[in-house]
Amino acid sequence: MQKLFEYNWQVRKEWLDWCESVSMEELMKQRTGGIGYILPTLYHIVAVEYGWICGGIQGRAITIPSFEEVASVQQIKAFSDACHVELAPFIYDWNDSLEERIMMDITDEGEEEAHACGEVMRHVIAHEIHHIGQLSVWSRELGRKPVSADFIGRGVFNSIR
């Protein structure tokens, strides 16, 4: 489980670095599919991971800034780093005994929903990879090579915590 989170963190960091060489106009240009914009997609990935892990599973009182409050590459990098500091210890402490633990979520319709923590963890993993796939298409649309999505070859597997 940890290794797929590490992969996502590494890929996200590379996309944020990639953003530094792209104009703000391109990062905020409306595009087809997904969230519809490059920079808000990266913000959304961070916010969703932080919301589910720290707010949802851990049940902590957290504050998630609006996109407008962190609407630059540097600010989203700082937002991502700050969330990472808060949530990484939980990810590294994860163990199989937490798989079936139940967490309660409030849906957009205001209803309570129960989820197994293992289900939420995998949801967060798949969520980021899916949105990164969308960024790869948009990247080609603006004539840029996307960040590699390969898991193999980026040293995650033998990474030291």
Q: Interface with a second copy by CB under 8 A: which residues?
A: 3-4, 7, 31-34, 115-116, 118-120, 122-123, 125-127, 129-134, 136-141, 146, 149-152, 156-158
With 0-12 / 13-18 / 19 or more C-beta atoms within 10 angstroms meaning exposed / middle / buried, residue 84 is middle
C-beta of 90: minimal distance to a second copy in Å?
18
Q: Which is nearer to a second copy, 77 or 131 (CB)?
A: 131
C-beta of 76: minimal distance to a second copy in Å?
19
C-beta of 60: minimal distance to a second copy in Å?
20
- Joined together, the tokens standing for residue 80 give 């991502």
Q: Which is nearer to a second copy, 72 or 92 (CB)?
A: 92
DSSP codes joined into one string, 126-146: HHHHHHHHHHHHHHHHTT-PP
C-beta of 27: minimal distance to a second copy in Å?
16
Residue 157, C-beta contacts closer than 8 angstroms, at least 6 positions apart: 3
Q: Apex CA 17: angle with CA 40 and CA 146, to 5°?
A: 80
